Structure 1
Amino acid sequence: MDRDFNGDAPRRDINRASAHHSAHPSKQNDDLELARPGSIAETLSPVREFIFVGLLCSAQFVTQIGLVGTLNILHIIGSDLGITDPGVLAWLIAGYSLTVGTFILLSGRCGDMFGYKNMLVIGFSWFAVWNVVAGCSIYLEGSGGQVLFIFARVLGGIGPAILLPNALGLLGASYDEGHRKDMVFSLFGACAPGGAVVGGTLASLWSLLWWPWAFWAFGITLAILAMLSIFILPSVPLEAEVRNLSHRERVRELDLLGASIGITAMILFNFAWNQAPGFGWNKTYIYVLLIVGILLFFVFFWVELKVAKKPLIPFDALSTDVSFVLACIACGWAAFGIWVYYFIQFLQQLRHDSPLLTMAHLCPVAISGFIAAITGGHVMSRIGPGWVMLISMLAFLTGCILVATMPIQQIYWAQAFVTTLIIPWGMDMSFPAATLIMSNAVSIKHQGMAASLVNTVVNYSISIGVGIAGTVETHINNGADTVENKLAGYRGAMYVSVGLSGLGVATSILFLLKMRSSERRATVKA
């Protein structure tokens, strides 16, 4: 694999694509334009680049709408569908994040094989259909509505799983390494808190009328984005070795055996953790699923290393530095998943905020997140990803501590407001740093895989974090029959996030020490 950390591999790959493409004059004119030497972004006019980046950033935006939009009106939905068990309610959130994190790797590989633009159109369309289905669950009586809504939420998560890696893959293939690329990736990350606030606000407004309209309106918007993608997004020429393959041969290149085993392992492991809070660890099937899931992880790694000719994850691209960064991401974003779930529960269940007031209290995350993203984009090349990662982990830790120790009877401007200012610095500095490291570590043909791996860790960690915290909550809250017991359960769950983010801080410090040691050895050799 041709790759380095200085951006040379992507440029070489684009030049190869250009040379190959010149022998096929029948290709569309925009493909000819995009295949010219140099970065794809350089061929776009400022207006088209603005629209191009905005449409790709909407992938991150709608993903967070899908998460927080449901979370903010969770109890309204649960009341209408007859879902009262906190464990089952948490599954409506964790199930969505589960499929987002589980299917990302395969989706990114599909983008490498079939084109990022094609996959983005499919992702928007798929997400639109299942949001409409989720709204229609209100028409089924009894448990039927519950089952359909959960089914739609879980399957709907495949939409963002398709969107995220392919949007980032297209961005990674379009920009050479440098300040411009840093800023674009930072803008992508900045859309996360903005999407969360907009999604939660719109859902709360629609719930004043009728909550299914939150999903129907969202579905219509996603369908419009799918249409815009067809006409606006440029088509990036596939690698010559991929372009010469038939569709059947491309399917063989997807490593479906490894993907099937890996997806099954992640689903079983995650399902066990997120079922346990609602149905209890005393159920035999919980342990069986957990053990089988762990065993399948070992099988997956064996298949990828020893069996697969084209592994889903090219492990030679995963340096020690990348592994450290992914470990930090896992800890930080698991803590964030717990933070966002229990912070909203705290406001609504203990302080009795309405969904709309909850979003008013959360809205500072959008402003702070945008500032954090822009700051991260400017300082990334100056201080290095190691320091950026440490800053982000400290932000996660501080934000979680503030919620874990927050009293019920306290003015909003004390801890609640402060945590909404701090937590976005964890989100919007860690994600761009990790994505840039992965994007610059691999060649252009593996941009989808690089984006997939970061997004897999982010979203899967959110789901696992909520499941682990839910288990702690149910073992501490004594049935949550009083305010004191409910508060104790919430605090126990939040202390899990404190521990995870603290582990992220320790890991990022080790990463920095390793980098310092490598620099000293390089200086001695010089």
Structure 2
Amino acid sequence: MGVGENELKPVQSSQSISATFSPLRETLFITLVCMAQFMTQTNVGVCLPNLDILGESFGISDPGILSWFLAGYSLTVGTFIIIFGRFGDLFGYRRMFLTGFIWLAVWSLVAGVSVYSNHILFIIARVLQGIGSAMLLPNGLAILGATYPPGKKKAMIFALFGAVAPNSALLGAIFGALFSQIAWWPWTFWTQAIVSVVCAILGFIVVPSIHHDNPDKINSFLDLLKILDATGAACGIGGLVLVNIAWNQAPVAGWSTPYVYVLLIIGILLLAAFFVVEFRFAEHPLIPFQAFSRDVSFVLGCVACGWGAFGTWIWYYWRFQMEFRKRSPLIASAEFVPVSPVGIAACFITGLLIARMRPGWIMIMSMTAFTLGNILTAIAPVDQTYWALTFVTLLVIPWGMDMSFPAATLMLSNSVERKHQGIAASLVTTVVNYSISLSLGFAGTVETHVNNGGTTPNDVLKGYRGALYFSTGLGGLGIFLSVIFTIKCYWEERRSKQGAKAEDTSLEGIILSEP
């Protein structure tokens, strides 16, 4: 049986799938695909306002362990997206999309049940929740990329998909605060389980199968391993996980602990082996580097820096608000509301700008927003009114998120064939989520080295500010890369025009010289 042959009746690659939708079905389709983004980012927000309540419930107060409530989830989202993007390319985006909702429902249920156990089960459930989101995001984006042809409509829908992110993170924070203070925090996760099951049922009805021609046949288990690039996947996933664990454990255990740097060394060696396998030995590379232009590396580099800065910012912003300004979860969530309307505006403005402006300029503006947001939070006095620097920060930071993500995703989607849509979507979302998780490890290391042991409130605050200055540096590096990328694009365009002009002049001379 050919890969993907048992899907529902396929739509041929030459057709515009969106043209077959009725208005009602298209509305439901876009809503359900955007739920992939909604559920993914909600899981980022749910732990932020009630982190102390969760810690108290499990008897945990160590910030290094508490950070795993967020970092563990982002780790698996960022690490497994690549492999599930390949699964979608091979076995069908729709199938993996629906499986992601069911998986997320199961482990959301377990996360709530962990209240009867301990924090280890809760962290495990959070880590495995991330696998469900790793199925949803690349395959949801791939479904959009394969359903709509390049154009303004596709750009606006991708912008809408991006606009869901800040709103879902905000709603996750609000509902997390509400359930923690009014009801019981496990209902935060049980509600997610219910919503995920409903989305899976509706998705089965509304989302079409996306089919592309795939000449590969699976005749044995060995063929399956080759097509999935199992060796490359093992090296890549193993390397990413070990490097991330090492950096996130270092602030807790200390770099003097042998297993920390041993894990880091093994992780780096596995990542090196991954590139060797992909370039020299893999028959079906997990990441088809030849399918992407060199500009993709600049775009992904900018995204890594910007979202790494964002991951550090959102963690220390909430810790600052809760610990030093003594905000309750509900008040802190209410103060976070400006992120929602600004994020929506940023996404749709980006959708309009993509067709009128070079991607490099969009990246420059995005990285500037990330950097400025971190600076404003780092210098904010504890006793300052919310309406000063904090409010301004919440007006600035969404422009970083909601300009970089849709722009980068759309650029990669338009640069590859339909059969690589899953991998294109995977690369952006992998970089986004893995950067969030890894940056928390970097920032935590900076914090522990500048906070003098964190024995006094002033020392703790000093550590927080040190971490935010680190993320400011990440944002600055993103600005630098985006400027270089923009200059490179102008230079290549100029060379192209000069070459075309020289060719026209040469052709004109040949014509004039003929008798």
Q: Deviations over 1:369-427 (max 9, x none)?
A: 00000000001010121111111011111111110111101111111111111111110
Question: Partner residue of 1:262?
Answer: 236
Q: 2:29 aligns with which of 52, 57, 79?
A: 52
Question: Partner residue of 1:99?
Answer: 76
CA contact (8 A) 1:135 1:215 kept: yes
CA contact (8 A) 1:434 1:454 kept: yes
Question: Partner residue of 1:433?
Answer: 407
Question: Partner residue of 2:150?
Answer: 177
Matches of 2:12 and 2:178, distance apart in 1: 46
AA in 1 matched with 2:94: K
Confirm or deny that 1:200 pairs with 2:173. yes
Deviation at 1:291, TM superposition (A): 0.9
Within 5 Å, which residues of 2 pair with 1:106-185?
106-140=83-117, 145-185=118-158
Deviation at 1:138, TM superposition (A): 1.1
Q: 1:370 aligns with which of 327, 344, 363?
A: 344
CA contact (8 A) 2:248 2:441 kept: yes
AA in 2 matched with 1:155: L
Matches of 1:217 and 1:479, distance apart in 2: 39
Specify whether residues 187 and 246 from structure 1 end up closer, same or farther in structure 2 by C-alpha distance, changes over 3 A only.
farther
Q: Deviations over 1:65-97 (max 9, x none)?
A: 111101221111011101111011111111110
Question: Partner residue of 1:211?
Answer: 185
CA contact (8 A) 2:226 2:283 kept: no
Within 5 Å, which residues of 2 pair with 1:490-501?
490-501=464-475
Question: Partner residue of 2:372?
Answer: 398
Q: Deviations over 1:353-384 (max 9, x none)?
A: 11111111111111100000000000101012
CA contact (8 A) 1:113 1:238 kept: no
Matches of 2:470 and 2:398, distance apart in 1: 19
Q: What is the SS of the residue equivalent to 1:103?
A: helix
Confirm or deny that 1:461 pairs with 2:461. no
Deviation at 1:246, TM superposition (A): 5.7
**Structure 1: 5+ residue runs without aligned partners?**
1-20
Matches of 1:245 and 1:373, distance apart in 2: 41
Confirm or deny that 1:382 pairs with 2:359. no
Q: What is the SS of the residue equivalent to 2:165?
A: helix
Question: Partner residue of 1:510?
Answer: 484
Q: What is the SS of the residue equivalent to 1:70?
A: coil
Confirm or deny that 1:287 pairs with 2:261. yes
CA contact (8 A) 2:108 2:190 kept: yes
Matches of 1:121 and 1:503, distance apart in 2: 38
Matches of 2:299 and 2:329, distance apart in 1: 35
Matches of 1:320 and 1:268, distance apart in 2: 28
Confirm or deny that 1:76 pairs with 2:53. yes
AA in 1 matched with 2:63: P
Question: Partner residue of 1:328?
Answer: 302
Question: Partner residue of 1:237?
Answer: 211
AA in 1 matched with 2:482: S
Specify whether residues 36 and 334 from structure 1 end up closer, same or farther in structure 2 by C-alpha distance, changes over 3 A only.
closer
Q: 1:62 aligns with which of 39, 54, 64?
A: 39
Deviation at 1:302, TM superposition (A): 0.2
Matches of 1:136 and 1:182, distance apart in 2: 41
Matches of 1:196 and 1:426, distance apart in 2: 15
AA in 1 matched with 2:127: V
Matches of 1:291 and 1:433, distance apart in 2: 34
Q: Deviations over 1:429-453 (max 9, x none)?
A: 1011111111111110010000001
AA in 2 matched with 1:191: V
**Structure 2: 5+ residue runs without aligned partners?**
501-515
Deviation at 1:247, TM superposition (A): 8.3
Deviation at 1:314, TM superposition (A): 0.6
RMSD: 1.7
CA contact (8 A) 1:111 1:119 kept: yes
CA contact (8 A) 2:12 2:212 kept: no
Question: Partner residue of 2:510?
Answer: none
Count of aligned pairs between the two proteins: 496
AA in 1 matched with 2:426: S
AA in 2 matched with 1:206: F
Identity of aligned residues (%): 51
CA contact (8 A) 1:113 1:250 kept: no
Q: 1:474 aligns with which of 427, 432, 448?
A: 448
Question: Partner residue of 1:87?
Answer: 64
AA in 2 matched with 1:470: G
CA contact (8 A) 1:400 1:498 kept: yes
Matches of 1:265 and 1:27, distance apart in 2: 33
Matches of 2:224 and 2:268, distance apart in 1: 30
Deviation at 1:488, TM superposition (A): 0.5
Confirm or deny that 1:275 pairs with 2:252. no
Give the number of the structure whose alpha-carbon radius of gyration is greater: 2
Deviation at 1:471, TM superposition (A): 0.9
Q: 1:422 aligns with which of 382, 389, 396?
A: 396
* Residue range with higher mean Cα deviation, 154-163 or 247-256: 247-256
Specify whether residues 487 and 460 from structure 1 end up closer, same or farther in structure 2 by C-alpha distance, changes over 3 A only.
same
Q: What is the SS of the residue equivalent to 2:67?
A: helix
Q: 1:186 aligns with which of 159, 175, 178?
A: 159
Confirm or deny that 1:344 pairs with 2:318. yes
Matches of 1:158 and 1:217, distance apart in 2: 18
Matches of 2:397 and 2:203, distance apart in 1: 32
Matches of 2:398 and 2:16, distance apart in 1: 31
* Residue range with higher mean Cα deviation, 469-478 or 325-334: 469-478
Deviation at 1:482, TM superposition (A): 2.1
Matches of 1:91 and 1:279, distance apart in 2: 13
CA contact (8 A) 1:332 1:500 kept: yes
CA contact (8 A) 1:60 1:164 kept: yes
Q: Deviations over 1:312-363 (max 9, x none)?
A: 0011123221110000000000000001111011100100111111111111
Matches of 2:49 and 2:85, distance apart in 1: 30
Confirm or deny that 1:227 pairs with 2:204. no
Matches of 1:478 and 1:80, distance apart in 2: 28
Question: Partner residue of 2:20?
Answer: 43
AA in 1 matched with 2:162: G
TM-score by length of structure 1 reads 0.92
Q: What is the SS of the residue equivalent to 1:383?
A: coil
AA in 2 matched with 1:404: A
Matches of 1:27 and 1:408, distance apart in 2: 57
Q: What is the SS of the residue equivalent to 1:77?
A: helix
* Residue range with higher mean Cα deviation, 441-450 or 222-231: 222-231
